[in-house]
Chains A and B, each alone.
Chain A
């Protein structure tokens, strides 16, 4: 053994460490397996990573903040560097957040890094989720991972909300007050729930410390666990890819994770980190010193939550305030309950969507090739409706800003948004679905007859023709490779009965697939080639180009 070492060159530290691990935990096998995983290349696949890296930045900056932040609601007289608050009575939590901002070196930068990356974390997860939705990446076998991702999105909201409340400034206090009101609005258990959470009457003396526990311990731990599960499943399932020649439901085309991808990802982390640092060093976020310490009486104009809570705030604002009545010896605050039910209902539908669609299509096969959104018109339409619904609620949280900045009446803005909330999604659904169908029709046209070139040719016998340039095989594949679903009929089961389930499914299936464009078949293609003999030469040329590239 010692001879062998003496003869060979001394291994480097990395190799040594790898060997050490390999001999004890079989890390080599794991790494080899992991390193051979293939990751495809498309910018939209990087959104999840943006979320992941902003979470890493959150962990780092959050840890810095814990060194200086004190989660106490005891009162102190502020004596820090910010003039207009000197001598003001405030909670220790607020005072320590002010100290982080003005008296801890790099503290304000870290607060801003933490807050900007929080906004980016949720935004990137949201956009990532939309990518997964519109490309149908949630289909079998990835339904569970959709749920995990959904949990991450909700946990991101929870992390953000608990963090937002920690500085105990006027703005965050107002946010807590709204939560308190919402809890109290729940019939029967509301009042108990509120006094349980706040340890007595709002605001009490405990809430900040409790939120702190949730914010730095429970929620980040859950997020970490879910991220681990999420990534693990990505490795098991392998990544999806967009369709193209050689890309099927049983392979993955891209670079192996090791070393190409890992090197790229490492670089990408620093890009995300760099952008966050740049923004945090140049743009203010949550200037808590402007808002002043929390005190239940004053409310400032322009009081809003962070963007990811905005849609819930909007739901509350858009609910007509007269939906409140007294019955059975209690007040029923429908103007609070309905928005809560709508919010939860929306989330439940988002979470359940993969299962709903699988139930409609009865498609039990695995899918690794992504859909182009236009090739699933109904799903894309539903997605557009959902996005519109969410966006109107979100804009609902900014009614006052819209009113002042565009010089319109606040009441008119509210009424238009209430109408838009109902009408908007329906219109969005119809327009999007029609647009998808039109695009599919266009694709069909292009595949069968080629692209219009605008070149007019006169044939020897005098006939004029526009030259259509046929597609290369790569492009053509993209346009014709999708599955055609047909509406299912309500068939009798083995007992000869048509169940209600089957009837409903048949009805929904009709909505989904009644209007559809059938993909181009090989026979049609052959026939088309026959009709356009002038188009035959070009593809050879095109293919040659593709190959030499």
Chain B
């Protein structure tokens, strides 16, 4: 289970889960309606969380995003965080993208700099600024959907940037779509929901929560199923296969011939 690697403290997980349960009456029904889930999560975030989040935000994020998260449109455009929702903060900070560091064409992933608790506090604060997508519940991102449907949807919606098995690919002008191997299910969901940087948003009208769950199921299938034909050459396709042929197969055979020749002389 991907959740074993979860960096949230158990307490935070319980709070988020409790929030999800409280909202849906403990039902699986939450999976069908992420949009509605948005309100209550921020609603039930405790006032304490929001104040803590506000402090953290002022210390770490306000320099770029403004004191109230209003963003800036000066020489350095920084987006406003009003209405981006808890999901966006959770994705950006928990994958280590935020706080941003000035860099090339695309902000890179780093080691996450905050604890799960701090992240949920900042998420609660940003969610309090304006309504936006909430963090999905564990049930919504569980990899127990329909992998075949997920496969088809992934091929149609994501493969052109992320490669058919999520090995990643190049975009224009130094931007790239990262490899999806090892990305936590929750972050996959949030990425679709919020569309970070050069990735489009796939809202719930576009890909229903069930579709999103199916896509996660497919990605987890690819990640967890050992390759069927032996070692995979980084799933990078024919170019790597060609290089492998020249360097290793042909090289190996030539080495054998030279060795045999040397022996016979």
Contacts and interface: CB of A to CB of B under 8 A. Distances in A.
A275 B252 contact: yes
Interface string B248-265: 111011101110010010
Main secondary structure of the interface of B (DSSP, over half): helix
Interface string B222-236: 100001111111011
B172 interface: yes
Given A283-B230, A284-B227, A306-B238, A275 B168 contact: no
A412 B164 CA distance: 25
A208 to B, nearest CB: 19
Interface string A68-104: 0000000000000001111110000000000001100
B145 to A, nearest CB: 11
Contacts of A116: 245, 249
Interface string B50-70: 000000000000000000000
B151 A88 contact: yes
B114 interface: no
Contacts of B232: 284, 287
Interface of A is mostly: helix
Interface stretch (B87-95, B125-133, B152-160): B152-160
A282 B230 contact: yes
Contacts of A308: 242
A41 B265 CA distance: 10
Interface stretch (A135-143, A397-405, A474-482): A397-405
A195 interface: no
Contacts of A276: 249
A50 interface: yes
Interface string A379-416: 00000000000000000011111011001111110000
Interface size class of B (residues with CB under 8 A): 35 or more
Interface residues of A, number: 69
Contacts of A101: 228-229
Contact of B163 (A108, A271, A300, A412): A300
Contacts of B3: none
Contacts of A298: 155-156, 159-160
Interface in A264-296: 268, 271-272, 275-276, 279-287, 289-292, 295
A401 B160 contact: no
A308 B243 CA distance: 11
B161 interface: yes
Contacts of A123: 242, 245-246, 249-250
A266 B229 CA distance: 29
Contacts of A271: 253, 256
Interface in B132-179: 147-148, 150-152, 155-156, 159-165, 167-174, 176-177
B158 to A, nearest CB: 9
B257 A46 contact: yes
Contacts of B249: 116, 119-120, 123, 275-276, 279
A22 to B, nearest CB: 32
Nearest to B239: A398
> Top 9 closest A-B pairs, CB basis?
A307-B242, A301-B169, A409-B174, A284-B229, A400-B170, A403-B170, A119-B245, A300-B159, A43-B257
30 contacts: A41-B261, A41-B264, A46-B254, A83-B221, A85-B148, A102-B228, A123-B246, A123-B250, A124-B253, A170-B164, A275-B252, A283-B230, A283-B233, A284-B227, A284-B232, A285-B229, A287-B232, A290-B164, A298-B155, A301-B161, A301-B162, A302-B163, A307-B243, A307-B246, A310-B238, A407-B176, A409-B105, A409-B174, A410-B172, A411-B172
Given A50-B253, A301-B168, 19 more contacts: A46-B257, A83-B148, A83-B221, A120-B245, A120-B250, A124-B250, A287-B232, A287-B235, A292-B151, A292-B152, A298-B155, A301-B159, A301-B161, A301-B170, A302-B163, A302-B164, A302-B237, A305-B238, A310-B239
Interface of B: 105, 147-148, 150-152, 155-156, 159-165, 167-174, 176-177, 218, 221-222, 227-233, 235-246, 248-250, 252-254, 256-258, 261, 264
